Amino acid sequence: IGVGLVGFGLFFLLFGVLLYFDSVLLAFGNILFLSGLVFIIGFRRTFTFFFQRPKLKGTSFFFGGLIVVLLRWPILGMLLEGYGFITLFR
């Protein structure tokens, strides 16, 4: 279930970007991606991954971008999410 949710989340993110940053598709893709991540590694591990002390900057940018996308500013939100994603996973 988790791999499917992550796959659909990435599909909706890609499709949202291809349709000129459609905020509904981007928000749906983000929610599916995060819920799939919770199904794959578990809630506790997901929480501890995102809220480790050295990764708080990346987490704040990632979730801030998610909130900005949900508030229908998709380009700015995706830029914030992208920076947070790079900071989290480097």
* pTM (2 d.p.): 0.89
Instruction: Give the pLDDT confidence of 14-59 residue by residue, as tens digits.
Output: 999 999 999 999 999 999 999 999 999 999 999 999 999 999 999 9
Interatomic CA distance for residues 32 and 86, integer angstroms? 19
Helix, strand or coil, per DSSP, at residue 19 = coil
Give residue 4's pLDDT: 97
Instruction: For the chain, give every domain's residue range.
Output: 1-51, 54-89
Which token pair is 24?
Answer: 């509904």
Long-range CB pairs of 48-55, under 8 A, 24+ apart, other chains included: 50/88, 55/87, 55/88
User: pLDDT grade, residue 89 (50/70/90)?
Assistant: confident
Is the pLDDT at 62 greater than 90? The verdict is: yes
Give residue 9's pLDDT: 96
Give residue 2's pLDDT: 95
Interatomic CA distance for residues 25 and 31, integer angstroms? 10
